[in-house]
Amino acid sequence: MGKFKDIDKSFNGRHFDREIIVLCVRWYLRYKLSFRDLAEMMAERGLSLAHTTIMRWVKHFTPEFVKRWNRWATTAGQSWRVDETYVKIRCKWAYLYRAVDRAGKTVDFRLSARRDVAAAKAFFAKATRFQGRAPRTITLDGYAASHRAVREMKTDELLPANTTVRSSKYLNNLIEQDHRHIKSRVNVMLGFKRFQNAAVTISGIELMHRIRKGQFDLAAAHLKDTAAPSIWTAVLSAR
CB 112 within 8 A of CB 127: no
| pLDDT, tens digit (0-9, with 9 covering 90-100), for 68-118 | 899 999 999 999 999 999 999 998 999 999 999 999 999 999 999 999 999
For residues 137 and 232, state if they share a domain.
no
> Nearest CA to 141 among 171, 114, 162?
171
Q: Is pLDDT at 13 greater than 90 in this prediction?
A: no
Give the pLDDT band (50/70/90) at residue 223. Answer: low
Range of the domain at 11: 7-72+216-237
For residues 65 and 86, state if they share a domain.
no
Judge whether 209 lies within some domain.
no
Q: Torsion-angle region of residue 143: left (phi > 0), alpha (psi -120 to 50) or beta?
A: beta
For residues 92 and 172, state if they share a domain.
yes
Give the pLDDT band (50/70/90) at residue 16. Answer: confident
For residues 149 and 87, state if they share a domain.
yes
For residues 66 and 106, state if they share a domain.
no
For residues 58 and 142, state if they share a domain.
no
Residues 193, 66, 180, CA angle at the centre, nearest 5°? 60
Mean pLDDT on 139-159: 95
For residues 67 and 167, state if they share a domain.
no
pLDDT for 1 equals 39
For residues 18 and 100, state if they share a domain.
no
**Average model confidence (pLDDT) across the chain:** 89
Please state the pTM of the whole predicted model. 0.89
Count of structural domains within the chain: 2
For residues 126 and 182, state if they share a domain.
yes
> Nearest CA to 63 among 181, 236, 229?
236
Q: At what angle do helices 195-213 and 51-70 cross, to 10 degrees?
A: 60
CB 7 within 8 A of CB 236: yes
Q: Is pLDDT at 213 greater than 70 in this prediction?
A: yes
For residues 42 and 147, state if they share a domain.
no
| pLDDT, tens digit (0-9, with 9 covering 90-100), for 26-82 | 999 999 999 999 999 999 999 999 999 999 999 999 999 999 899 999 999 999 999
CA 128 to chain centre: 15
For residues 25 and 88, state if they share a domain.
no
Q: Where are the alpha helices (DSSP H) in the chain?
A: 7-11, 18-30, 35-43, 51-70, 117-131, 144-155, 173-187, 195-213, 228-237
Judge whether 1 lies within some domain.
no
For residues 164 and 97, state if they share a domain.
yes
pLDDT for 2 equals 45
CB 109 within 8 A of CB 96: yes
Distance CA 36, CA 42 (A): 10
